[in-house]
Structure 1
Amino acid sequence: MHPKKEPTRPVPAGPRPTGPRAAAARLAAPVAAASLVAFAIAGCSSGPSSSTATTTASSGAAATPGSAPAPSATNQLQNDYERVIGDVLPSVVQITTDVGLGSGIVYDGKGDIVTNAHVVGTAQDFTVTLANSTKPLDATLVASYPDSDLAVIKLTSPPGGLKPATFGDSTKVEVGQITLAMGSPLGLAGSVTQGIVSATGRTVSEPQGADSPGATIANMVQTSAAINPGNSGGPLVNLFSQVIGINSLAATEPQSNGAAAPGIGFAIPASTITNIADQLIKDRKVTNSGRAALGITARTYLNADFQPAGAVIVSVGPNGAAAAGGLQPGDVITRLGDTQITTLSSLTTALAALTPGSKVTVGYTRDGQAKTVDVTLGTLEASGATP
């Protein structure tokens, strides 16, 4: 599986789903942003699933002969790193399918494990290796929600002593906070990289692929911690040993044949993880995604010059915002609030930045006539078929 949007969207640097195909970064359609960026799903790795990595902390400053080492901020930070790794790494697992491997997080003591939807792909059965064991355990799919790139699998025979991770408060994540990314990059289980929170509130579009539907995800955490193929599904944690996100995407350079752009990775925020995972475990589906929707099925509309010029409505759901506003199949949406709409992707991106219940003006054309209507946005449901 391979390593796999914000008002100012970086061009999704092809996130890579976990799997053998993760070796090459894939590019998503460009997104309007201050700079052109591509994203790669940090999903699965084609590396050996049996490989493991040992993390060894470096020693502090050398002590003067005959005297104890002087305490320092550096030593304290190192101690913090070691403590966090000791706290969280036992909650990180390696997930293997028939096409590759990725990472996951122990969600509860019952054997539920949360990961990326692009890590599980279309598989129903998995092999899971816990951090403190080399014995593979069988697991099956509970449910997957590709629209938020999240899934839950469950150990068939959960062993005793499982250590569920602690999830942090997404509202308290701030730029500059130190982060550690954990997982199995390239099959190296138990690997840890460090960085900081580079930005919050990013809206990113994943590239489409065999294991990735090209989801548009809002409020992602951007981090400088290295995220590589196989890291997908693993935790991004703070120095309080709290999971603040699930590593999902790594940026690539569109003009460098998909070469990695160091220090630009993205993680799904903790609030989204817990919201979706709780529903998948309880109901095996998502009934409240927390994401805004018009209640339509649409596609990109091409004008007479075959240029993208909006999102044309293919069908209208019976109880959605579009139906209440009188929108019809054949209407071409050209604006949502202050955002110009030229493609289905741009419509999805604009909706991702809004919340259910928001009132917004929809600009559209019908039979060549420009019109507007004010609607109250609904909620994107489990089918994920409509924006």
Structure 2
Amino acid sequence: MDVSRARARRTPPVLRAALPLSAVLCVVALVPGCSGAGASGPSGSTTQAAPAAADTLQDDYQKVIKEVLPSVVQIQASSDLGSGVVYDDRGHIVTNAHVVGDERTFKVTTTNSTDELTARLVYAYPDQDLAVIKLEKLPEGLRAARFGDSAKVAVGQITLAMGSPLGLSSSVTQGIVSATGRTVSEGRSGGGTGATIANMVQTSAAINPGNSGGALVNLDGEVIGIPTLAATDPSLGNGSAPGIGFAIPASMVTTVADQVIEKGEVTDSGRAALGIAGRTVLGDGYRPAGVAVVTVTDGGGAAKAGIEPGDIVTRFEGTDVTTMQSLSEALAGKKPGDEVAVTYSRDGAEKKADVTLGEI
């Protein structure tokens, strides 16, 4: 599966007709009314129950939007546009590293104002595709978002994605949590960080260019993730695959943001490392066949296990390793301190080693 970053170029959006939000809400809310007493009772009960349910859900949506949308901002770099979430009352904003790119100064627009505010980069952490910027001046009405508990995110929960898709600021789309625990790799083309990110939240809420760095929110008004990637379908010319988007979980966002705000950098990533620098090697038929070890980190897990430059890693915990990306994806599901079985070849002979993983 391919993924693309949900960042927007400064080009006018092409608009197409869509159902109004209220219509979508009514359709969703009518489903439970098709069974139970409402279906077999008097005609009056059937006509009243469904609209009441729709009104309740609609009220929930509007309450959450009113509460959270003021915490979602639009971020403008020199040529690209994305979104961000106000993290605290000191003007810190969390967003994606691929939104800020290599720049250090940005223009920020809040939901309740058209004034452009200046923000400066605090720190970017491309390994997790996260970054923190800070407003130079705090506007009135700035509101920090509440971040939820990633452990409580469950498949089927209703979600709202808030951001600036295609430059349309303060936009909201709705969907559900489609899956949790996804490991997704981001390409480097077009300014991508190349990050492999574990435990991502998959959602059916529409994620479009410009949504990057915005908010994926539950009906309790909590940010449960930062929308980052959308799946693409090669059969559609790499156009977005509708209803398949991914958000960095809130737990990782707060872990990174807290360290950046307190220390100015990330000192404890929580991400496992094998302790090598490597490159993909090709085998028969010019197909990827493993990861060649270019260097090993002194005192790292690989070095302690006897792995040397020139070795070729072919398996990791029983999973075939053919490329650097596949190795990164395998590592993404592990924690520093885990012991893993690594298979590698040296001068054509297969060898095995138990490696205690370090930290990036």
Aligned-partner Cα distance in 1 for 2:312–2:235: 33
- The correspondence for 2:172, drawn from 165, 179, 192, is 192
Partner of 1:273: 253
Counterpart for residue 336 of structure 1 = 316
1:43 and 2:7 are equivalent in the alignment:
yes
Aligned 1:126-165 pairs, distance under 5 A: 126-165=106-145
CA contact (8 A) 1:297 1:313 kept: yes
Residues 122 and 211 in structure 1, CA contact (< 8 A), matched pair in contact too = no
Instruction: Report if aligned partners of 2:164, 2:171 keep a CA contact under 8 Å in 1.
Output: yes
Q: CA deviation at 1:323?
A: 1.3
Are 1:91 and 2:71 counterparts?
yes
Distance 2:148 2:127 in 1: 22
Q: Secondary structure at the residue paired with 1:76?
A: helix
Of 189, 192, 197, 1:217 maps to 197
Could you tell me how far apart the structure 2 residues matched to 1:331 and 1:265 are?
Answer: 37
For the pair shown, which has the larger CA radius of gyration, 1 or 2?
2
Aligned-partner Cα distance in 1 for 2:208–2:307: 43
> Matched residues in 2 for 1:44 and 1:122: separation?
16
1:282 to partner: Cα distance: 1.9
Percent sequence identity over aligned pairs: 59
Shift in Å at residue 304 of structure 1?
5.4
Q: Name the SS of the counterpart of 1:355 in structure 2.
A: coil
User: Quick one: distance in 2 between partners of 1:160 and 1:322?
Assistant: 53
Aligned to 1:350: 330
Amino acid at match of 1:240: D
Deviations 1:133-184 (A, max 9, x none): 1100001100001110000001011234321100000000000000000000
Q: Compare relative contact order (CA 8 Å, sep 6+) and give the higher one, 1 or 2.
A: 1
**Conservation of the 8 A alpha-carbon contact between 1:289 and 1:379:** yes
Counterpart of 1:262 in structure 2 is 242
CA offset digits 1:94-136 (Å, max 9, x no partner): 0001112110000001110000001011111000001111100
Distance 2:276 2:210 in 1: 35
TM-score under structure 1 length normalisation: 0.82
Does structure 1 conserve the Cα–Cα contact (< 8 Å) formed by 2:86 and 2:92? Answer: yes
> What is the CA–CA distance in structure 1 between the aligned matches of 2:9 and 2:94, rounded to whole Å?
18
How far apart are the structure 2 equivalents of 1:329 and 1:286?
28
Distance 1:332 1:189, change over 3 A: same
Contact 1:194–1:225 (8 Å) recurs in 2: yes
Q: Match for 1:243 among 223, 231, 234?
A: 223
SS in 1 for 2:337: coil
Larger fraction in helix: 2
Find the partner of 1:79 among 56, 59, 83: 59
Letter of the 2:224 counterpart: I
Kindly indicate whether the alpha-carbon contact (under 8 Å) linking 1:43 and 1:116 is maintained by their aligned counterparts in 2.
no
Residue 302 of structure 1 corresponds to 282
1:102 to 38, 62, 82: 82
Check conservation: 1:183, 1:190, Cα contact below 8 A: yes
Match of 2:101 in 1: 121
The farther-off stretch of 156-165 and 40-49 is: 40-49
Aligned partner of residue 77 in structure 1, secondary structure: helix
Partner of 2:298: 318
Q: Secondary structure at the match of 1:282?
A: helix
Task: Report the alpha carbon displacement of residue 74 of structure 1 after superposing the two structures with TM.
Answer: 1.2
The 10-residue stretch of structure 1 (287-296 or 40-49) with the greater mean CA deviation from structure 2? 40-49
Relative distance call for 1:48 and 1:277 in structure 2 (3 A) is: farther
1:202 aligned residue (166, 182, 188): 182
CA distance in 1 between counterparts of 2:22 and 2:194 reads: 40
Tell me: CA distance 1:57–1:228, structure 2 relative to 1, closer, same or farther (3 Å): closer
In 1: Cα distance, 2:279 partner to 2:215 partner: 34
Q: Which runs of 5+ in 1 are unaligned?
A: 1-10, 12-37, 50-55, 62-68, 381-387
User: Contact 1:91/1:105 (CA < 8 Å) preserved in 2?
Assistant: yes
What is the DSSP-based 3-state SS (H/G/I as helix, E as strand, rest coil) of the residue aligned with 1:72? helix
For residues 277 and 148 of structure 1, what CA distance do their matches in structure 2 show? 11
Contact 1:199 1:222 in 2 (8 A): yes
CA distance in 2 between partners of 1:268 and 1:45 (Å): 22
Give the count of matched residue pairs.
332
Question: 1:47: how far off?
Answer: 3.8
Q: Deviations for 1:347-376, whole angstroms, at most 9, x for unmatched residues?
A: 111001111111101100111111001011
Asked whether the equivalents of residues 297 and 315 of structure 1 are also in contact (C-alpha less than 8 Å), the reply is yes
2:316 and 2:164 map into 1 onto residues whose CA distance is 40
Structure 1 residues 46 and 374: alpha-carbon distance in aligned structure 2, compared to 1, 3 A threshold: same
Q: Give the aligned CA root-mean-square deviation in angstroms.
A: 1.9
Could you list the structure 1 runs, at least 4 aligned residues long, displaced by more than 6 angstroms after superposition.
none
